[in-house]
Structure 1
Amino acid sequence: MTGYNITAGDVEAGLQHRMEVLVEKKSSTGWVWKAFGVLLLVALCIGGARLYVWYQLERSESTTQSGKTAAPRIMDPDVTTGAHSQLKEMSRRAKAAIHLVGDYDEDSQQPALEWKDGVGQAFALGGLRLHSNQIIIPEKGLYFVYSQVSFRVSCSNDVEGAWSSKPLSHRIWRSSDSIGKPVSLMSAVRSACQNVPEDGVRSGQGCYSTIYLGAVFHLDKGDKLQTETNQLPELETEEGKTYFGVFAL
């Protein structure tokens, strides 16, 4: 039988070989964990982005389901000042937006509420434009349409001492080649000089009232939006009181 002698060199060579294997395995395992961490971080980023997109889609669908629009909002006069500044800020951030200010000249041959851009706080960008006192929609999509009119009504009472009621109305019309005849997008009616305290307003004194409309609509390219307002001589056209605008969502 042949014997084998283990020398010190063989032992050292074996230990060195085992150490090299262990080091190599440890390095390989560390690389795998680093790769797994990177993939996990990427997955979390993608998941967060998809969650944000889903949230935005849910908001859009909640306002317009099956082509239906959100109900118009009629706001109280005390709220409209803050809403006006917020709408201007939102519309300036939009890619396409227009904000018009109202003017009225009772001495003109055809008295009407005239909308103007490029004056005061009015502006137009992103393809939305004013033409023939109408807002022209440049592209198909979702748009937030809004308008406010302010009145200063001269209240009076009859022979029996009762206050006369003056109906105030404001409406936004949509004209479209696909629809044909104009259709009403939003409208509101409010009565002025009603339930006035006996010592609150004297006969002939002004009574202030405001109508605000705003909702989301799906509009087509080339659609035209215009307004119709009664009691034009009672309109308040000072800065920030009467306006009309649209911005894309």
Structure 2
Amino acid sequence: MTSSHTMQYIGLLLLAAILLQTIAVAVTFIYFSNVLTTMKETFSKSSVSCLMRANLRTIKGLDTGSTEGKDDPCWQVTQQLHFLIEKSMSNRYQKEISSAIKDQDAPPRPKIAAHVTGSYIPEADKDGRGPSNRKVLGQKIQSWESEKGLAFLQNVQLSDGELVVPQPGLYYIYSQTYFRHTLTEEEENEEEDEGAGEDTIRGRPMLQYVYKKVGSYPVPILLMKNARTTCWSRDAEYGLYSIYQAGLFQLGAGDRVFVTVSNVSTIDMDEKSSFFGAFLVS
């Protein structure tokens, strides 16, 4: 009996000890959980207050240069934030100023453009068929005006009816020719003899070509071509027609551009009717 009572007593002591230990662990866990929650809330509130500049009694009431203000954690956070913002803005302004200075130091881009207009050909020169070249189609127009009236040259040369560009780039080239087509006495007699002038003399096409010449190629290169067919009343003394064409082309330094037509003698070289030009795009 005595031994049985002793064993029961020891079992109760062990049970009580385990129960007390369990209660102690639970209380400790609850305590530290509350402490961590309180610390998180305090830290969160302090961070938000620093960023929102709310409830900053210490910072507002203290001199920014005082030792007490510098020891405040919120003051340190805001000062670091201000420092980062100032540094970022300073770097940005320095880049913008450097870019502006580079743009000012860069030499201005030269303006390259030309617009030449028709110049009336002496009657003695109009009697012939004009200059021709076996390497190109048609007859080259050489009598362009480059200074008077609407014509001008800006960093472009005009030589032998050809525009010479000074630097490589993408150029817009345009040309218009105004045809005043008439029948000579010989053609009128031929028309009366054949009786089919609509299909022969009056039906001849008018052509305009734009060429470029490069130093590395012996033959001029055709850039543009346009055509119209003459057809006017038998009772009319002449027919009036115009051909215009334009386009973007890559040219090199020293390249030459010129215009040819099917018959130079039929061109009305008024400055507002026949003209030719080019300008640098990029």
TM-score range for the pair, normalised by the shorter chain length: 0.5 to 0.7
Matches within 5 A, 1:10-49: 24-27=50-53
Give the counterpart of 1:165 among 196, 200, 203. Answer: 203
1:146 maps to 174
| Change in CA separation of 1:121 and 1:240 when aligned onto 2, cut-off 3 Å | same
Q: What SS does structure 2 have at the residue aligned with 1:236? A: coil
Decide which structure has the larger Cα Rg and report it: 2
Q: What SS does structure 1 have at the residue aligned with 2:241? A: strand
Q: What SS does structure 2 have at the residue aligned with 1:217? A: strand
Matched residue type, 1:117: S
Whether 1:99 and 2:115 are equivalent positions in the alignment is yes
1:219 maps to 251
Whether 1:243 and 2:275 are equivalent positions in the alignment is yes
Which structure 2 residue ranges, 5 or more long, are not aligned? 1-44, 54-77, 93-109, 132-140
Deviation at 1:106, TM superposition (A): 3.7
RMSD: 3.2
Matched residue type, 1:100: V
Matches within 5 A, 1:72-221: 95-103=111-119, 104-108=121-125, 111=130, 113=141, 114-125=143-154, 127-154=155-182, 158=192, 160=195, 162-163=197-198, 164-193=202-231, 196=232, 201-221=233-253
Q: What SS does structure 2 have at the residue aligned with 1:146? A: strand
Q: Deviations over 1:76-121 (max 9, x none)?
A: xxxxxxxxxxxxxxxxxx9211000022334139746311201110
Deviation at 1:232, TM superposition (A): 2.2
Rounded to whole Å, the distance in 1 between the matches of 2:48 and 2:162 is: 79
Is this contact kept in 2: 1:99–1:117, CA < 8 A? yes
Rounded to whole Å, the distance in 1 between the matches of 2:257 and 2:48 is: 76
Is this contact kept in 1: 2:197–2:203, CA < 8 A? no
Q: Deviations over 1:10-67 (max 9, x none)?
A: xxxxxxxxx9987643245xx89xx7xx99xx9xxxxxxxxxxxxxxxxxxxxxxxxx
Q: What SS does structure 2 have at the residue aligned with 1:108? A: helix
Is this contact kept in 2: 1:175–1:182, CA < 8 A? yes
Deviation at 1:161, TM superposition (A): 6.3
Is this contact kept in 1: 2:117–2:275, CA < 8 A? yes
Deviation at 1:140, TM superposition (A): 0.7
Rounded to whole Å, the distance in 2 between the matches of 1:98 and 1:21 is: 68
Matched residue type, 2:279: F
Q: 1 or 2, which has the higher strand percentage? A: 1
Q: Deviations over 1:198-247 (max 9, x none)?
A: xxx34352211111111110111110111212222221122310001000
| Change in CA separation of 1:161 and 1:132 when aligned onto 2, cut-off 3 Å | closer
Rounded to whole Å, the distance in 1 between the matches of 2:51 and 2:116 is: 71
1:234 maps to 266
| Change in CA separation of 1:209 and 1:129 when aligned onto 2, cut-off 3 Å | same
Q: What SS does structure 1 have at the residue aligned with 2:124? A: coil
Which structure 1 residue ranges, 5 or more long, are not aligned? 1-18, 43-93
Rounded to whole Å, the distance in 1 between the matches of 2:48 and 2:182 is: 95
- Aligned-pair identity (%): 22
Rounded to whole Å, the distance in 2 between the matches of 1:25 and 1:225 is: 68
2:61 maps to none
Q: Deviations over 1:103-149 (max 9, x none)?
A: 23341397463112011100111x22212221001111100111000
Rounded to whole Å, the distance in 1 between the matches of 2:205 and 2:48 is: 90
Matched residue type, 1:223: D
Q: What SS does structure 2 have at the residue aligned with 1:107? A: helix
1:16 maps to none
